[in-house]
Structure 1
Amino acid sequence: MTLAEIEAALEERLLAINPAIATAFENKTFTPVAGTEYQRINHLTNTPVDHAVTLDVTEDRGILQVSLFYPLDKGRVPAKTRAQLIRDQFKPPLTLTKGTGKVEILKTPSIGSGFPDGDRYMVPVSIYWRSFQTP
């Protein structure tokens, strides 16, 4: 499974949450609409781990970082409610497939403390994943 397939599987799962909100993807132009919420996706890949005596099994690991941006002065509940929806959508144990590969979610996603960011209130959600590659 390639990193592009891993990222696609994770994004598909995230975008299946209802109701949908606007999404800012990596390396794509995005202009948020004033007064509305949106989410930003970043893929944070970690150093691969080579397993087995022959080193022919590679464990790819990373974090799907979802940053939720909500209008200021509306309280924290709307952003935290969305964060909980994401957490529930990626509840472990979860295996996502794309092509012939699998991505595993074995840890409950973490919801960070919210803080002001420009004209928005931002809440980070971190989704930890791993995928094993064999020849």
Structure 2
Amino acid sequence: MSLLIVRQQLEQALDAITPKIDTAWENVFYVPTKGVPFQRVQLFYGEPENPTMDGFYRDVGFLQSTLYYPLQSGPGDAITRAQLLRTTFYRGRSFVSGKITTVIKGTAQRLPSIVEDDRFLVPVRVPFFANVLP
């Protein structure tokens, strides 16, 4: 259940960012509109950590939002959105739901830009860990 709750916490925070842009969520049908920016969201998990013997564990991973902007319009809008992700998911921000606390463990990383078809892509990774109490 913790995996679902962590996803909900992070996706709700992402969805609350304004101004809004279209979002392609994992395993949800989405057709991009030509010329309209959107983001594709993925959640990646690493190996859980078990720092104690009492049932407490820590999920670790990152939320990745890949920003898709029209090609040949310059990097400014995509970079501005990447910065907005950084300020929303700042180091130390936490989300609490019952016995699960998800914490942003570092500054979001802007990965190298990619050109794909008619889009300029900017991937942004937000590292997190989630403490899951027994």
Give the TM bin, normalised by the shorter chain.
Answer: over 0.9
Question: Paired residue for 1:93?
Answer: 92
Question: Paired residue for 2:103?
Answer: 104
For 1:76-96, what per-residue CA distance to the aligned partner results, in whole angstroms no more than 9, with x for missing partners? 111000000001101111111
Kept in 2, the 8 Å contact 1:26–1:42? The answer is yes
Give the superposed CA RMSD: 1.2
Question: Paired residue for 2:22?
Answer: 22
Gaps of 5+ in 2: none
Q: Which segments of structure 1 move beyond 3 Å, counting only runs of 4 or more?
A: none
Measure, in 2, the Cα distance between the counterparts of 1:21 and 1:126. 17
Question: Paired residue for 2:125?
Answer: 126
Q: State the Cα distance separating 1:55 from its structure 2 match.
A: 5.3
Kept in 1, the 8 Å contact 2:101–2:132? The answer is no
User: Percent of pairs identical after alignment?
Assistant: 33
Q: State the Cα distance separating 1:99 from its structure 2 match.
A: 3.8
Kept in 2, the 8 Å contact 1:76–1:114? The answer is no
Gaps of 5+ in 1: none
Question: Paired residue for 2:72?
Answer: 73
Asked if residue 8 in structure 1 is aligned to residue 13 in structure 2, the reply is no
Measure, in 2, the Cα distance between the counterparts of 1:42 and 1:71. 21
The one-letter code matched in structure 2 to 1:115 is I
Kept in 1, the 8 Å contact 2:99–2:132? The answer is no
Q: Number of residues paired by the alignment?
A: 134
Kept in 1, the 8 Å contact 2:100–2:133? The answer is no
Q: State the Cα distance separating 1:114 from its structure 2 match.
A: 1.2
For 1:41-60, what per-residue CA distance to the aligned partner results, in whole angstroms no more than 9, with x for missing partners? 001011111112x2522110
Measure, in 2, the Cα distance between the counterparts of 1:64 and 1:56. 25
The one-letter code matched in structure 1 to 2:121 is M
Kept in 2, the 8 Å contact 1:87–1:108? The answer is yes
Spell out the pairing of 1:48-87 with structure 2 (5 A cutoff): 48-52=48-52, 54=53, 56-87=55-86
Kept in 2, the 8 Å contact 1:97–1:103? The answer is yes
Kept in 1, the 8 Å contact 2:91–2:107? The answer is yes
TM-score (norm 1): 0.94
